[in-house]
Chains A and B, each alone.
Chain A
Amino acid sequence: MLCQRCQERPATIHLTKVINYEKTELHLCEICAKAAGNELGIMIEPNFTFQNLIAGLLDGDFLYQQPDVVTQLTCRNCGLTFSDFRNQGLLGCGECYNAFQASLEPLFRRVQGGTVHTGKVPRRTGGRVRLLKEMEQLKHQLQQAIAKEEYEKAAQIRDEIRRLQQQL
C-alpha cells in the first residue's frame, strides 16, 4: 500500500481515528506521518532499536566500496536478499551467516565482543568443536600445573590431552 499523501513511499503507519462514532483511516509513510504529526495530535517517535541502526552500521565501509556486488547478494538456502536484511535487521536462516559473511564480519567487530564464539558447544552434536575446546582448557590447566610444579597432575593432564588427540 502506498502512502495516501505522497503516493510515493510505502505506507508503514496506519491510523484509525474514531470521533463521534465516525471512523476514518489513514495510511501514511513515516515521513508524511511525521509532518502530519502535529495536526493529527499524535507524536511519532521512531522506535530506536538495533534493527534501525543496522542499515547505518552495514553501510559503513563494505557497502560503500562495492554497492552493486553487495546489495545483489542472496542467501541460497532461504532466499533472503542482502537488502531485506539491511532493511529488517534480521537474518532468514543459519545459512545467511555464510551468504553475508563479508558484511557481517565488520558488523560483529563493531557491535559484538569479538568475531569468534568461545562459549558453550552443543553436547550431542558439537562433536569435533567440543573436543577442541576441551583440549584448549586442558592445555591451559597443564601450563598452570607446570607453573605450580605439580608434575604428577601435569602428567595426568598430558595423558588426557593425548587421548583426546587420538579421538580427533
Chain B
Amino acid sequence: MSAGISNDFLPEWVRSEGEVSDVVISSRIRLARNLKGFPFPGHAGKEQLEQVVQRVCEAVGRTGTFAFLPPIRLSELTPNQRLVLVEKHLCSPQFTENPAQRLLIINDAQTISIMVNEEDHLRIQAIRGGFELDEALKLANDVDDFLEEYLDYWFDERRGYLTSCPTNVGTGLRASVMLHLPGLAMVDQIKQVLTALTHVGINIRGLYGEGTESLGNMYQISNQVTLGHSEEELTNNLKGVCKQIIEQERNVRANLLKESRLQLEDRIGRSYGILSQARLMTTQEALKLLSDVKLGVDLGIIPEVKKVNIRELLFLTRTSILQKVFGREMSPAERDYHRAMIIREKLNAK
C-alpha cells in the first residue's frame, strides 16, 4: 500500500539524518531580501507584485547550478498540495494563506526554497538534516549571491538589507535548529531551558512555528536579533547555545539510563508495542509515541527497529502527506487507519 512513496518525494532533510541526529532533526537558514524600487509586499499593488514575480523568474531562469524546478504558482495548487509544502518545511503556513501573486521556487533535492512575495519580496531558505547550520548558511549565501547578480536589492550602508518588519533588518537572517528533547521534557527541565534562552536573545517555539505547542518533544530554536551582528556571529551564537542544550539532553538521557533504566525501557517498549500493533492512530498519539521510539532507537534500547528512519515516519504520518501519498482526501477516521498501517508496515518490516 505504501508503494506510492518514492524517494524523490521525501525532502533531503527527512532522508538523510546528518550530524548529531540523536538530538537534532534539521537546521535551517532563512535570508530576507527586497527588490530596490518596489514597495514591500504588504504595501504593494497587484501589478507591482506581479513585476517582482517576473523579475525573480527571469533571474532564476539563468542558472543551471542549483537545479531549480519550474517555479510554482501558489494559486494553481490545491489546498492539500499547499499543506504538503508546509510539512516539507519549504514554505511558511502564512505564505499559503493568501496565494495570489505568490511564487515558490525549489530545487531538485528540496534543500533550497525561495518564497516570493511573502512578508518580503524574497525569502531564501536552505534546510539540511541534522546539525548542519554552516552548510545551510553557505548554501543560502550561494543562492543569494547568484540572485544578486541579476537583481538589485534594497540595501543600506547603515541598516543593511532592508525588510518589511524592522525585526528582520540588517542581515535578514533567521537561523533555526529543530531539536528533539524527550529527556529534558521527562525530567521537567524544559521550562528552565526556555527561560534561560530568552536571556541570550534566542527564541524557542513548537514544531510548527509561532504559537504552536511542542508536539512530540520537538522544539525549534532560532536567533531573535538580525542587526548589529554578522551572519557568522549569529549562526555561531545559535550553534553554541544548541551545543549546550544537546549536551544537557544527552546527560539527562544517560542519567535516566543509569537511574531508572527499567521504567524507561518499559515506557519505550509500551510505545513501541502500541505503534507496531495499533489499527487506528491519531496524529497527536503518533507524534507522542514516535518520540518515545526515537529515543529508544537513539539509546539502543530497541535494537530491532534500528533500521527504521523515525523522522521519515514522523513526516509520512502528517495528515497532508498521508493524503498526498494515497492520492485523495480522507476522513479523519480513514486517516487514522492509514496512519496506523504505514507505521505498522515500516516498524515490522524485516
Contact = CB atoms under 8 A, between A and B. Distances in A.
B159 A118 contact: no
Contact of A119 (B38, B149, B156, B231): B231
A110 to B, nearest CB: 11
Nearest to A107: B166
Interface stretch (B222-230, B239-247, B303-311, B331-339): B222-230
Q: Is chain B's binding surface mostly helix, strand, loop or mixed?
A: loop
B175 to A, nearest CB: 12
Contacts of A50: 165, 167
B158 interface: yes
A90 B43 CA distance: 9
Contacts of A78: 39, 43
Interface in A15-72: 47, 49-51, 54
Contacts of B226: 112-113
Interface stretch (A2-10, A92-100, A157-165): A92-100
Interface in A101-159: 104, 107-108, 111-126, 129
A108 B40 contact: no
Contacts of A115: 158, 227-228
B160 A119 contact: yes
A124 B145 CA distance: 8
B114 to A, nearest CB: 17
Given A97-B159, A117-B171, A91 B164 contact: yes
A124 B153 CA distance: 10
5 contacts: A49-B210, A51-B165, A111-B225, A117-B158, A125-B152
Interface of A: 47, 49-51, 54, 78, 80, 88-94, 97, 104, 107-108, 111-126, 129
Interface of B: 34, 36, 38-40, 42-43, 119, 141, 144-145, 148-149, 152-167, 169-171, 173, 201, 210-211, 225-231, 234
